[in-house]
Structure 1
Amino acid sequence: MSLPADFLTAVRQLMPAERLFDDPLSTLAFGTDASFYRLIPKLVARVESETEVIALLRLASRHQVPVTFRAAGTSLSGQAISDSVLIVLGDHWNAREVLDGGQRIRLQPGVIGAAANALLAPLQRKIGPDPASINAAKIGGIVANNSSGMCCGTAQNSYHTLSGMRMLLADGTLLDTEQPATVSTFRQSHAALLEQLAQLGQQTRANTELAERIRHKYRLKNTTGLSLNALVDFDDPLDILTHLMVGSEGTLGFISSVTYHTVAEHPHKASALLVFSDVETCCRAVPILKQQPVAAVELLDRRSLRSVENMPGMPGWVRELSAGACALLIESRAPSAALLTEQIAQTMAAVAHFEREKQVDFSTDPVVYNQLWKIRKETFPAVGAVRATGSTVIIEDVTFPVEKLAEGVNRLIQLFDKHGYAEAIIFGHALEGNLHFVFTQGFDSETEKARYEAFMQDVAQLVAAEFGGALKGEHGTGRNMAPFVELEWGSDAYQLMWAIKRLLDPQGILNPNVVLSEDPQIHLKHFKPLPAANPIIDKCIECGFCEPVCPSNGLTLTPRQRIVIWRDIQARKRAGVDTRELEANFQYQGIDSCAATGLCSQRCPVGINTGDLVRELRAEQAQHQGRARWLAEHFASVLKGTRLTLALANGVQRLLGAPRLQTVSSGLRKLSRQRLPQWTPAMPQPVKWVEPTPTATTSKPKVVYLPACVSRTMGPALTNGEQVSLLDKTRALLEKAGFEVVFPLALDNLCCGQPFASKGYPEQAESKREELLGALLQASAQGRYPIYCDTSPCTLKLLQNPADKRLDIYDPVRFIREHLLERLDFQPVDTAVAVHVTCSTQHLGEADALIAIARRCSTQVVIPEGIHCCGFAGDKGFTLPQLNAHSLRTLKDAVQFCEVGISTSRTCEIGLSSHSGIDYQGLVYLVDQVTRPMSIAKM
């Protein structure tokens, strides 16, 4: 059924067309969340203000149109999808305010959880909820799902740390519990609603059996159904209402902002792993550990340990554990090292009488505890990596009373065997009895659907009916547990939930069939297809963890959405459906506008690099093999031509001035149908190139300096306060540190191959890369000398596939870290410096080192939040400037008090300078500015 015409007309008058999506590609792209369900919305509205949400709710109410709210879409139970109107948060929901010295924090729903914690970190505070998805999940979803995690338990979730809330009800009414004026108005305008809530609370508290059942259920981790504990915990209907909103999954209203009481984030931590010979012994230790000063206790059954035992970096003893082994990963945190030592001793003494098969003692060494947590964090990806193409990975989330944990684990294992889930694993938050079990499931046949239904019925009976536990501990009810809410809670509590729903959403327009549903089969409908599309992406479960780091997120498509569309195109082709229109739209949205930097792979649980898929598709479309071959063979001529072009543009700039030239360039670009590149005032001047000649050999230590092709062609911009080229500045810095600088022969014809690879010409890319590696081998005396590459993307390219093992190739950060810190005397300046960590620096594992070097150079270092990739992507800043502009749309405000910016990629610095209002330059400029040669005595 289509949306009412009058509704659509009103919505289009309310919001600009560029934030309304109803085309087939966009609605399909937004039709998925992290769950195993799919619904295709008829309209997607990207809202940017409370006013727009109010108007949309009023229109939806008037026309009885269902709406669903979405923040990040990382929810696992199908609560962030819709076949009607999907309301998605835009950019302008990102406000945050630290209150009371960090004791409280006010957050809008678009703030990512990890960003809130980063703001609080200097105050040694954090928000209470700590879901595993905190690097992607947004506050709106965290509150609406009452998300928790490994450390927060029940005491520190959103419900228990809530200080205030600003919300919109189904009729568009605004209520801000922290503003007395709106509270007073609401008490008058909605007196009847508040009175009915008060009566529901009184009736619930008077029903002794029901009230005690509610209290019992919330002693456990429990997110099944609505938050009925609000009715027994509070008398004031306003308090009841705000706490009912927590965990309501968008079925009762829209959360416009939330104020949390924060919790302590202790700086000292240590982790240990205790392995027991059987589940029973392991679980008997849990109640004792619950009484100890521990922050987290994670249970890992033998199946989960087996799933990761052959992964790189895993200790060998994992493979040697017995068949029934069960482990507890324990973390303790404290405000001081001395107290941490006391806590560790107390904890180990408490469990000393339990016999252990293996033990890794508590350690504060990051190498040790990161390896232990790697075991825990790799379990979910391990199951995903072995699933059959076309099947999905399901992660369920149940809670047993802690005293019944051992029996619960064993009974779950029996159900895995009964229903044929041999790959299923169990892990979870043992202190709360909250277990996650992961299994793979296909939905492409009635037999598989029946197997899933039988399994879930058995799980529901086991957990809810037999053990009195919770079918959802932290993932939210969604639509996959909605049919089981009455089974878990009983008829009285279930009818109470429906009474609340009908009171606050009388027309049933808010996220129907989520949390509560009258359809007992809703959990068996609308399964998400995951058809084979390409081996690069076939393991994707569309979780959305990749989206925050994607520069095209909000402009075109995200990595998750690119995969959704490409899967659909391939499935349609196999079915004989014409896909030409969809592919034509995907060309710009999915292929052309992808930066292909691969940051998505760092956030992906199974390491998928969507950029690899895009490069493969570009290679299939590449039609200029001969031209690419000529360019590769005449690379020095190409660079010469580039310098001439830059010289011409520089001359025109001097003649016309920057504003007029920018206007002319924009006009020419439009006339050329976007074929001509966009000129900006940050456009570099040409480097005055002279092929370096061999220097006299000295007794100084030698370093081979490889200036990237961009460093050999692109000097500083005309307006830049620093006019020395990167090549000259780097050579001078290396010599200041006491090195003799050696250059490869025939340097100007050398290239790492990255420009060819990004355009879809892998053969030419590899040819140039091999040519360069050969030249570096010769220049480094067969690998005797270190090789310094001044551009991190080129370093990364050289180190891939892999590089010649005899060569030791450094990017600027690693070389400075390992060779210059000890050779130079640093005198930090009191200058505000913005740091941009390039994608390649992140891939090289040098992000923290770059920031550390910057802090050694300056007392004021700024790392702009939310800018993970600048979107310049080699030359896309010239050819697709909207990608660069979109990615850096928040940069200027973030660095407004900075005097200079640093990075490790010349092309990135062009875009950064264009959109920041300050000059960005290479890291070596800052290091050179603040250093002097170390005295001989110190060396």
Structure 2
Amino acid sequence: MSSTLRVLPSPSADVYAELGQALRRLIPAERLVTDPLRLLAYGTDASLYRLIPKIVVRAETEQEVRDVLACCRRYHAPVTFRAAGTSLSGQAITDSVLITLSDNWTGISVENGGETIRLQPGVIGAHANRRLVPYSRKIGPDPASIDAAKIGGIAANNASGMCCGTHENSYQTVQSMRIVLADGTLLDTADKASRAAFQKSHGVLLDKLSQLSRNLKANGPLAERVRHKYRIKNTTGYSLNALVDFEDPIDILQHLLIGSEGTLAFISEITYRTVVDLPKKASALAVFPDIGEACRTVPLLKKTPVAAVELLDSPAMRAVEDKPGMPKSIVGTPDGAAALLIETRAADEETLKANMAAISAVLDKATTLSPPIFSTDPKETAIFWNVRKGVFPAVAAIRPPGSTVIIEDVAFKIEDLAAGVLDLQDLFDKHGYVGCCIYGHALDGNMHFVIYHDFSIPSELERYRKFIEAVCDMVVKKYDGSLKAEHGTGRNMAPFVELEWGEAAYQLMVEIKSLLDPENMLNPGVVLNDDASIFTKNLKPMPTTSPLIDACMECGFCEPQCPSNGLTLTPRQRIAGWREVNRLAKVGADPAQQADLRKRYAYDGTRTCAACGLCSTVCPMGINTGKLIKSLRTEDWSGFGKAVGSWTSRNYGSMLALSGPGLAAVGVARALVGNKGFDGLAGAARKVSGGLVPKVTHNVPTRISYKPRDSVVAGRKVVYLPSCATRSMGPAGDDPVRESVPEVFQRLMEKVGFQVIYPKNLGGLCCGQPWDTQGLKDVADAKAAELEAALFAASDGGKLPIVSDTSTCSYRMKEYLGDRLKLRDVVDFLHDEVLPKLNVQKKQGTVMLHLNCGAKKMGLEGKLVAIAKACAETVIQPEQMTCCGFAGMWGFTTPELNEHATRHLAKQVPHDCHDGYSSNRTCEIGLADQAGIPYRSIVHLVAKATGA
């Protein structure tokens, strides 16, 4: 391999210690990570590689990035930039300095009527698209990870997806950038003054870029090869097409940065030209007798108005056919069969029908196992796409415990797709891969294949090496395809860049790297690497630890949902950390090292986890990291502690009664010294006690002791379960709404003709959530069983509907009950059974709305929003906030979790908004604390709008 890349000697431990001291003079200590647990956790990405950084810097501003780069240059310490870390090729890890983005990089500016959008690199792709919905537009890149991937990574990897192809990716749609070069220079390509200043300070660099462009264009065969390579998807190496597509060296520079994986500069802002998001969509699933026939149909479909064509081979269909909601057409297909999932889009119904007709004409001439039929029903088409989305997790879930799942992506010219896919299958057989699958974006010739290895077995490493080398030889030498179509070169394809491109093009890439990063300080070893074996080194250990998490791929899709993200650890990081704790124990590591890691994990991993389970709603494997944390909390309980927990369960009614005097005392103190005075005194008491005194504020509920009353109507009977929170916690002391949730809800029910029935012995009943959160599952389940018996009796053996007024409790009981009893949440019941029978008038202007984790996990977001919009003029759902982090009693004992999770809430409350709503009483306490306005049950909003 030919190269002239400079290789810096690795700094010593003493040098990194000095660097750490220097960085502390630039960055606040809380944003510098140097402890072993968080270094491991923050350094983990979605790839099969593991490098542990020496220092992690959570940068907040452009200037901080520049300062850190200057400091690292002085100590010759390499730097890697990190956005979301969903990348699959090892480009977001380092054993030196890792710069990650704090949540201060989430600026979004929609401009020119939605035709452009200016984004900071910390913006999640889906959040950008959400802002563009009113304009019927979206950003061009559409990676499968768009709900977690951040713009910085999307641009730096030139990520694409199912629909954007090569015509709407970041390279094609970038309009301008703000760039920080390796030497710390800032360039804004949209600003004339900045361009002029850069031309003056970096004229030599720009002249050399222009010269590289002229030389390439003058080399006809090489220029044509570059053009040819980008006719299909390609993210192998640098974007050499920038040298043939543009004249202005600044335009060349900003397009070279697309797909450069942080090895040339830092992108601190990017402006995209947006694309039209056509509203009318139709999908069809065509199943073919063999994969060759499916692939041969793709070039014919490309000539029709298709928006996406996704291929699934037989193992891919087998992996998902038994999952709930899968279409019958993929069940029991013969071995060797394959499917094409097709979507077309249009601006209007007439055009959509014409599109479907044109595509169907092609499919009619192909050999299919059954006639494919287009559907425009969103529910049915969602089923089709769930097939595609379910493939990777389904295949990954059946891998042997302890093995690493690997997903690779290559691209063929579309006319070579059938032969290339068949050759891939032959390589699976030759190298002994069973149960692996091929699927992907057939319209672009872009195929993903999934394999798995247990790299703790030495022979597996050698098998992997031989297989990857064979794939590279086949893709490049036989088909002149792309070794990386959309996942980025990273570390695993860096040794093969020259194989794909040839010596002349590779040397051009080396010149580009040397020109923009002469010291090879930015993400060294990524994209270009002289080590031919680097793709088999620094492999991530995946030790088995618990069946609850062993299937985790560490993809990071969970992280945007986690309330402790940025405070301590995320679900991915908790899993990575716990795996390391177990690995150290298995290898007999230094006991002091093990003890230190466990001590750190007790707070970062266990105590600050809300255990809300929202991670499971986006995890490809459905992993609920909260269940792991609860199991660890179980292990922490002594026999005496478990006995106390059991006693409190058996005497719960008395325990709730004892809380009354405490709440009353808070009310008296608040009345005496006022809200500010009370908050100050309570805060001081907590501080003096070292956190032993729970956090209480003026938003702590007033004391109530709800006594059920007989219904005044004799209509349809409904069993009503007010939670222990709503029947013991009234409104906050200064809330102008004074009635409790049960009072208001019963009145609403009676207004629409329901006769309300309560379970007997209500005072001591509970779903068990307080014990479950603490890890006392046996106690929690015993309490839930007690509640089930009471509900069974009250509902006449399940014949009567049952309504719970607190979403977290509803979710817990639904999970516990299964199909034994049909319990409905208050949001569901209000939407379906109450609102339609009432005269609703919007009596409130602007309201804040919080979808708590229980409601979200039950799929009630749409209904909660619909209720709020029916009752209020304007409904605001805060951005950058999922679970509020109050987590039942956790909000009193670990309030920093709630404070962190809701840190963006107050600034999103408009001046004309005075009320917030949710469906969980304890959540409402924490929300009110942070928002500065009262939060109440959605029941109150419905009552206000309906005169109840």
- The 2-side partners of 1:889 and 1:208 are apart by 57
Residue equivalent to 2:98: 86
1:867 aligns with 2:881: yes
Residue equivalent to 1:61: 73
What is the Cα deviation at residue 6 of structure 1? 4.2
What is the Cα deviation at residue 354 of structure 1? 1.0
Residue equivalent to 1:796: 811
Residue equivalent to 1:742: 757
**How do 1:831-910 residues align onto structure 2 when only pairs under 5 Å count?**
831-897=845-911, 898-910=913-925
Residue equivalent to 1:332: 344
* SS of corresponding position for 2:429: helix
Residue equivalent to 1:936: none
Residue equivalent to 1:233: 245
Q: Could you tell me whether the CA contact under 8 Å between 1:549 and 1:866 is conserved in 2?
A: no
Residue equivalent to 2:393: 381
- The 1-side partners of 2:819 and 2:211 are apart by 76
Q: Could you tell me whether the CA contact under 8 Å between 2:784 and 2:816 is conserved in 1?
A: no
Listed one character per residue, the Cα deviations across residues 848-905 of structure 1 (whole Å, up to 9, x for unaligned) are 1111221222231111112110000011111111100000000111223433211000
Residue equivalent to 1:11: 23
Q: Could you tell me whether the CA contact under 8 Å between 2:720 and 2:803 is conserved in 1?
A: yes
Residue equivalent to 2:665: 648
* SS of corresponding position for 1:328: strand
Q: Could you tell me whether the CA contact under 8 Å between 1:226 and 1:244 is conserved in 2?
A: yes
Please point out which of 246, 253, 269 is paired with 2:265.
253
What is the Cα deviation at residue 804 of structure 1? 5.7
- The 2-side partners of 1:221 and 1:508 are apart by 27
Residue equivalent to 2:798: 783
Counterpart amino acid of residue 424 in structure 1 = C
- The 1-side partners of 2:374 and 2:872 are apart by 36
- The 1-side partners of 2:250 and 2:726 are apart by 63
- The 1-side partners of 2:528 and 2:801 are apart by 64
Listed one character per residue, the Cα deviations across residues 542-571 of structure 1 (whole Å, up to 9, x for unaligned) are 111100010001001111111111111111
What is the Cα deviation at residue 392 of structure 1? 0.7
Answer with 263-272 or 246-255: which moved more: 263-272
Q: Could you tell me whether the CA contact under 8 Å between 1:678 and 1:879 is conserved in 2?
A: yes
- The 1-side partners of 2:706 and 2:546 are apart by 46
Residue equivalent to 2:158: 146
What is the Cα deviation at residue 63 of structure 1? 2.2
What is the Cα deviation at residue 787 of structure 1? 1.0
Please point out which of 145, 151, 154 is paired with 1:133.
145
Residue equivalent to 1:281: 293
Counterpart amino acid of residue 841 in structure 1 = A
Counterpart amino acid of residue 691 in structure 1 = K
Please point out which of 704, 707, 710 is paired with 1:691.
707
Q: Could you tell me whether the CA contact under 8 Å between 2:663 and 2:701 is conserved in 1?
A: yes
Q: 1:830 to 1:611 in 2, by over 3 A?
A: same
Q: Could you tell me whether the CA contact under 8 Å between 2:714 and 2:753 is conserved in 1?
A: no
* SS of corresponding position for 2:160: coil
Residue equivalent to 2:946: 931
What is the Cα deviation at residue 287 of structure 1? 1.2
Listed one character per residue, the Cα deviations across residues 86-123 of structure 1 (whole Å, up to 9, x for unaligned) are 00000110001000000000000000000000000111
Residue equivalent to 1:361: 373
1:394 aligns with 2:422: no
**How do 1:515-664 residues align onto structure 2 when only pairs under 5 Å count?**
515-577=527-589, 578=591, 579-623=594-638, 624-664=641-681
Please point out which of 675, 680, 684 is paired with 2:692.
675
Residue equivalent to 2:89: 77
- The 2-side partners of 1:848 and 1:470 are apart by 42
- The 2-side partners of 1:208 and 1:593 are apart by 60
Listed one character per residue, the Cα deviations across residues 697-717 of structure 1 (whole Å, up to 9, x for unaligned) are x54111111110000111110
Answer with 429-438 or 672-681: which moved more: 672-681
Counterpart amino acid of residue 31 in structure 2 = R
Q: Could you tell me whether the CA contact under 8 Å between 1:691 and 1:746 is conserved in 2?
A: no
- The 2-side partners of 1:826 and 1:864 are apart by 25
Runs of at least 5 residues in structure 2 that lack an aligned partner in the other structure: 1-11
Q: Could you tell me whether the CA contact under 8 Å between 2:491 and 2:527 is conserved in 1?
A: yes
* SS of corresponding position for 2:882: coil
Please point out which of 33, 37, 46 is paired with 2:45.
33
**How do 1:346-495 residues align onto structure 2 when only pairs under 5 Å count?**
346-495=358-507
- The 1-side partners of 2:817 and 2:479 are apart by 54
| Aligned Cα root-mean-square deviation (Å) | 1.3
Residue equivalent to 2:5: none
- The 1-side partners of 2:416 and 2:813 are apart by 55
What is the Cα deviation at residue 16 of structure 1? 0.7
Answer with 794-803 or 208-217: which moved more: 794-803
Residue equivalent to 2:281: 269
* SS of corresponding position for 2:739: coil
* SS of corresponding position for 2:312: strand
Q: 1:802 to 1:782 in 2, by over 3 A?
A: closer
Q: Could you tell me whether the CA contact under 8 Å between 1:896 and 1:917 is conserved in 2?
A: no
TM-score calculated relative to the size of structure 2 = 0.97
Q: Could you tell me whether the CA contact under 8 Å between 1:163 and 1:261 is conserved in 2?
A: yes
Q: Could you tell me whether the CA contact under 8 Å between 1:691 and 1:747 is conserved in 2?
A: no
- The 1-side partners of 2:660 and 2:947 are apart by 33
Q: Could you tell me whether the CA contact under 8 Å between 2:714 and 2:754 is conserved in 1?
A: no
- The 1-side partners of 2:566 and 2:80 are apart by 19
Q: 1:96 to 1:804 in 2, by over 3 A?
A: closer
What is the Cα deviation at residue 321 of structure 1? 1.2
Answer with 890-899 or 586-595: which moved more: 890-899
- The 2-side partners of 1:932 and 1:19 are apart by 51
Q: 1:739 to 1:695 in 2, by over 3 A?
A: closer
* SS of corresponding position for 1:899: strand
Q: Could you tell me whether the CA contact under 8 Å between 1:280 and 1:406 is conserved in 2?
A: yes
Q: Could you tell me whether the CA contact under 8 Å between 1:273 and 1:359 is conserved in 2?
A: no
* SS of corresponding position for 2:816: coil
1:120 aligns with 2:132: yes
Q: Could you tell me whether the CA contact under 8 Å between 2:788 and 2:817 is conserved in 1?
A: no
- The 2-side partners of 1:259 and 1:408 are apart by 37
Question: How many residues are treated as equivalent by the alignment?
Answer: 930
- The 2-side partners of 1:900 and 1:127 are apart by 34
Counterpart amino acid of residue 259 in structure 2 = G
- The 2-side partners of 1:572 and 1:699 are apart by 65
Q: Could you tell me whether the CA contact under 8 Å between 1:43 and 1:85 is conserved in 2?
A: yes
- The 2-side partners of 1:835 and 1:344 are apart by 40
* SS of corresponding position for 1:116: helix
* SS of corresponding position for 1:275: strand
Counterpart amino acid of residue 563 in structure 1 = I
TM-score calculated relative to the size of structure 1 = 0.98
What is the Cα deviation at residue 311 of structure 1? 2.0
Counterpart amino acid of residue 427 in structure 1 = Y
What is the Cα deviation at residue 58 of structure 1? 1.3
* SS of corresponding position for 2:555: coil
- The 1-side partners of 2:402 and 2:848 are apart by 45
- The 1-side partners of 2:171 and 2:328 are apart by 42
Q: Could you tell me whether the CA contact under 8 Å between 2:307 and 2:344 is conserved in 1?
A: yes
Q: 1:543 to 1:804 in 2, by over 3 A?
A: closer
Residue equivalent to 2:738: 723
Please point out which of 279, 303, 314 is paired with 1:291.
303
Runs of 4+ in structure 1 off by over 4 angstroms are 693-696
Residue equivalent to 1:937: none
Listed one character per residue, the Cα deviations across residues 428-456 of structure 1 (whole Å, up to 9, x for unaligned) are 10110000001111211321111001000
